[in-house]
Amino acid sequence: MLRTLIIEDEKPAARKLERMLSEFPDIEIVAKIESVEEGVQWFSENEHPQLIFSDIVLGDGLSFDIFEKTPTKAFIIYTTAFDQYTLKAFKLNSIDYLLKPIMDEDLASAVEKFRSFIPSGNAVNSQEIKDLIKKDKSTLSRVLVKIGYNLKIVQTSEISCFFSENKIVYLQTQDRSYPSDFTLDELTEVLDDQKFFRVNRQFIINSDYIKNIHTSPNYKVELNFQPDEEITVSRERVKDFKDWLVS
């Protein structure tokens, strides 16, 4: 049996996930945890499971806090309504990232992926796991931004570019720009590189919003919804930029 832990602070969501997992005969739910405090205590007192399904935003913090205080070698499948934590999730043993509401087929795919990481005898090679996770990691599909006391979900497909200004990274949509919690370096790790390209130190652009490209005297890009007239492609990035355009 595969010893499995659920970390979820919403009781209905925890019960639903438990019911869904009951369809897998080799999965045994050993406990359900609702908070960071409870999680830290549980991990310090119990044998660690092989697999963890974990929400990220809990009532008293982020589930990441549990694993930073009590490191585990268990595989983690994150379940959440938002995916701005993708980068950090994949640095903490995550093998998949399921957006709520969880679909049966997505859950089945995640469980099968977990099984593929466990060789015969349940022996685990940590470096092989990290290499596999890196190759198979998800890309950012939506970003949570804060507007005063309100939160807004922005699909990455609606973003023409990300840009850095006064040490804050903003995303640009048709309506306006919004500050984000990312750095440009982090975004290059989690954005779909078929759609997004970092043209210089300040900008990452979305190919779907390129309006014009000027090649003389320098490569300059004009985007829809971008307040600046043109964005210059840094000299050292021009070749990669041209290759990206036709990839």
C-alpha span between 63 and 70 (Å, rounded)? 11
pLDDT value for 133? 47
Q: Tell which of 136, 171, 205 closes a domain.
A: 136
pLDDT value for 131? 52
C-alpha span between 242 and 238 (Å, rounded)? 6
Which whole-number Å values give the CA distances from 239 to 55, 62, 205, 234, in the listed order? 41, 41, 16, 10
Could you list the beta-strand ranges (E) of 43-86: 51-54, 57-58, 61-62, 75-80
pLDDT value for 51? 94
Average pLDDT by stretches of 10, the chain with 247 residues:
95 95 96 96 95 92 90 88 62 74 91 78 47 55 82 90 94 93 86 94 96 91 86 94 92
Q: Tell which of 91, 114, 136 closes a domain.
A: 136
Hunting for tokens 């130190």 — which residue is that?
A: 201
- Domain of residue 204, CATH code: 2.40.50.1020
pTM, 2 dp: 0.57
The phi-psi region of residue 72 (left if phi > 0; otherwise alpha if psi is between -120 and 50; otherwise beta) is beta
Same domain for 115 and 223, yes or no, is: no
pLDDT value for 247? 82
C-alpha span between 192 and 126 (Å, rounded)? 26
pLDDT value for 81? 75
Strand, helix or coil for residue 178: strand
CB 52 within 8 A of CB 77: yes
Domain range enclosing 69: 2-136
Same domain for 46 and 124, yes or no, is: yes
Same domain for 130 and 147, yes or no, is: no
Task: Compute the half-sphere exposure of residue 220: CA atoms within 13 Å on the CB side of its CA.
Answer: 9
pLDDT value for 210? 95
C-alpha span between 89 and 95 (Å, rounded)? 9
Strand, helix or coil for residue 88: helix
Vertex 91: Cα angle to 88 and 97 (nearest 5) = 65
